[in-house]
Amino acid sequence: MKEEMITQRKIDRKALFFIVFFGACILSFSGAYAQQTNWVAPKEADNMKNPLAGNAAAVADAKNLYIANCGPCHGEKGKGDGPAAQGLNPKPADHTSASVQSESDGSLFWKLSEGRNPMPGYKKIFSDQQRWELIAYIRTLAKIPKKK
The residues that touch ligand HEC, with contacts defined as CB under 6 A, are 36, 39, 69-70, 72-74, 84, 88, 90, 92-93, 100, 103, 108, 111-112, 116, 118-119, 122, 134
What is the nearest approach in angstroms of ligand HEC to the Cβ of residue 90?
5
Q: How distant, in Å, are the alpha carbons of 18, 39, 99, 122 from that of 114?
A: 42, 11, 19, 7
> How far apart, in whole angstroms, are the C-alpha atoms of residue 31 and residue 26?
8
Q: Which is nearer to ligand HEC, 19 or 68 (CB)?
A: 68
Q: Is 131 helix (H, G, I), strand (E, B) or coil?
A: helix
The answer to whether 39 touches 120, Cβ cutoff 8 Å, is no
Q: Which is nearer to ligand HEC, 7 or 86 (CB)?
A: 86
Q: Which is nearer to ligand HEC, 48 or 134 (CB)?
A: 134
What is the nearest approach in angstroms of ligand HEC to the Cβ of residue 105?
10
What is the nearest approach in angstroms of ligand HEC to the Cβ of residue 93?
3
What are the backbone angles phi and psi of residue 116, rounded to the nearest 5°?
Answer: -155, 130
Q: Which is nearer to ligand HEC, 28 or 117 (CB)?
A: 117
> How far apart, in whole angstroms, are the C-alpha atoms of residue 90 and residue 117?
8
